[in-house]
Amino acid sequence: MPTQNYTYHLAALYSLHPKPYTLKNFTFSAKEKDAETGLSYFGSRYYSSDLSIWLSVDPMASKYPGLRPYIYCANNPIKLVDPNGEEIDWVERKVNGRKEVFYDRTVKSQADVDKKYGNNSGIRHLADGSKVGNGQYTVYNDHINNKNGVAKDANGNALNPNRTIIYGNDYTLFAGVTDESVDAKSLHNNMFGSSYIGADNPKDYKGKDNYDYQPIWSPTEMAAYLHDKAYDAVGAEGVSGALLDQRTKCADQCLIYECKKIAKNPKINTSERSRARKIAFGFSCIDFIFKTPRF
């Protein structure tokens, strides 16, 4: 096992004999490679690709005494990912009266949450082992079998980490933590504070469009969700697809019709009806200006 002295002398050796370095600073690992030493910086420790070893212990090693401190992702890099070498945690926020619990790969304390979202964001860092979903589920920030966090049900069974979303009466638990799962941070960033109305759609952790989130309690969101899916069905993309592609006219007409119905329904809350009127008006204008034939 490498020792502290060995690490020191190895680093000194590299600094005395730097390699010619002409490649980009960021290699296939997506981590920055130091041009002078030839070492890759993974956030909390350096890695030597020439010797295939880490030059210091895992900063979370004390939490896992059964694992060697110089390994990566519990020796299972095919399934597990460790973005920055440190613990990353679950957070909770409230949106339109619903609690949302999701895994934020960029924070590990309330201080990190406040720095990222602001002191008055209302987003709360969750301690390891916190109960969520009205006490029905437990979330763990740094679990030995899942470096991206894990959520368990009342019986202690781990929820499927791939694209799983649990919808309760007054909460949503984004139990999916894989790269293909929806990143809850990308929600509610569209027009009128929505997730699907507009071009800034929800993303997965790799930045690709993701439609896993289905807020069935919001009629305007679901109308916009179906509208977006109809766009995808005909291959329409971007602003040009929304404004100029005649194949999207039917989808627009359906959205306008649904939103007009929502706006007239007295059983639906005022904010939803107001948003529905804005959507219907906006898409009616788009349809008239860009998609109505001129003779």
pLDDT in tens, 164-182: 999 999 999 999 988 899 9
Rounded average pLDDT over 58-62? 59
pLDDT for 73: 61
pLDDT for 5: 45
pLDDT reading at 136 higher than 80: yes
Distance of CA 138 to the CA centre of its chain: 20
pLDDT for 82: 56
Please, what is the average pLDDT of the chain? 80
pLDDT for 256: 95
pLDDT for 41: 67
The residue among 147 and 110 whose pLDDT is bigger is 110
pLDDT in tens, 230-257: 988 888 877 777 788 888 899 999 999 9
Q: What's the CA gap between 206 and 219, in Å, rounded?
A: 28
Rounded average pLDDT over 74-87? 54
Q: What's the CA gap between 174 and 95, in Å, rounded?
A: 14
Q: Residue 29: pLDDT band by 50, 70, 90 thresholds?
A: low
Share of the chain above pLDDT 90, in %: 44
pLDDT reading at 3 higher than 50: no
Catalogue the E-assigned strands of the chain. 32-33, 40-41, 46-48, 53-54, 89-95, 98-104, 124-125, 130-132, 137-140, 150-152, 165-167, 171-174
Rounded average pLDDT over 103-108? 85
> Whole-prediction pTM value?
0.68
pLDDT for 102: 95
Q: Residue 50: pLDDT band by 50, 70, 90 thresholds?
A: confident
pLDDT for 88: 62
Task: Give the residue from 293, 261, 232 showing the smallest Cα distance to 242.
Answer: 232
pLDDT for 128: 83
Every domain of the chain and the residues it spans:
4-72, 89-181, 190-295
pLDDT reading at 42 higher than 80: no
Q: What's the CA gap between 54 and 46, in Å, rounded?
A: 6
Q: What's the CA gap between 134 and 143, in Å, rounded?
A: 22
pLDDT for 181: 94
